[in-house]
Homo-oligomer: A and B are copies of this chain.
């Protein structure tokens, strides 16, 4: 009896299906591989999955954060605490990464892998002969293009720290400059860069067409690493790098010339907020939009050691007036954030659950995007 009724109903359903029948689908071509435009739309973003659970198999995913369909555009591999930078001038992507002949052992090879933006195929690779590429939980200041993308600056760390200079026309490493006692690469001037130093000072180096050092300035300590260190991940707004401290200080540094200018500090928090220990924190915990607004992930009840855990709110500042203009309460706590450079900018939040929550810059939640079931996309690069 039961069987009978099943079939009767099924026949009805089948008839319905047949009633909707179309022309037969045509055979599809094999092989078929998708491509991307050479110039990416401005809502596309690079989400770097550091893949802690399998660090030799990281990736940089390309995601249209404005899309409700086909949001995942493709990816390039990024092995073993890789770092990444997009070229604005050329249709190229650069990945600094390391390989071992047997996956996790054997001979090490450090390379700059260069990808074509349209095909995402490797165009070439440049071997770093000293195998001294810095391996750190990645951030935006380990691999940088300067001078209209003519030079690629590559951080070395063995733990001796240095900056390698690659000419992007010849793809040759033309020099390596020691930055002993200091670390990271903050572009300054046309061909210069600055690094923060362990004594609370700063070093600034400029180089010539052949990568030779032409000037070096060591700044006296201007902050206390012990009492209130500046985070090593500033946000650039125009030529000004906004460094933030563990305890909410803002330290702007003018990077328009190869000898940076340290500007006056201001605070992200009121006295009451400071008392409640509202502090910035997370991984890539700050970002900026094109209007000069600074977005900072904030947490309450901060303490010695809370500076990498992210936060429940994003506070937005007008860097000109140094006033907070908005306070966004998040659905899920933020770990890293980024703002797209599109006409209608979008605020991209990598949450502590390691997925992307997309908001308007006013804090209206738009959509959730999964970067991968085991992905840890903790560094986000807005398309240039």
Residues of A participating in the B interface, judged by any CB pair closer than 8 Å: 51, 53-57, 77, 79, 97, 99, 101-105, 109, 111, 113, 122, 125, 372-374
Contact = CB atoms under 8 A, between A and B. Distances in A.
Contacts of A125: 102
Contacts of A57: 54-57, 103-104
A373 B52 CA distance: 10
A340 to B, nearest CB: 27
Contacts of A122: 105
Contact of A99 (B79, B103, B111): B103
User: What is the predominant secondary structure among interface residues of chain A facing chain B?
Assistant: mixed
B102 A56 contact: no
Contact of A53 (B54, B104, B113): B54
A101 to B, nearest CB: 7
A375 to B, nearest CB: 8
Q: How many copies does the complex hold?
A: 2
B373 A103 contact: no
Contact of A374 (B101, B109, B374): B374
B53 A56 contact: no
A102 B99 contact: yes
A158 to B, nearest CB: 19
Contacts of A113: 102
B103 A53 contact: no
Contacts of A77: 103-105
11 contacts: A51-B54, A53-B53, A53-B373, A54-B56, A54-B57, A54-B374, A56-B57, A77-B103, A79-B102, A97-B103, A102-B111
Contacts of A53: 53-54, 372-374
B99 A101 contact: yes
The 6 A-B residue pairs with the shortest CB-CB distance in the complex, in nearest-first order: A54-B54, A54-B57, A53-B374, A374-B374, A79-B103, A57-B57
Most B CB contacts (10 A, CB to CB) among A51, A101, A102, A373 go to: A102
Nearest to A111: B102
Contact of A56 (B97, B103, B372): B103
Contacts of A55: 57
Given A56-B56, A99-B102, A103-B103, 17 more contacts: A51-B54, A53-B54, A53-B374, A54-B54, A55-B57, A56-B57, A57-B57, A57-B103, A77-B104, A77-B105, A79-B102, A79-B103, A97-B103, A101-B101, A101-B109, A102-B109, A102-B113
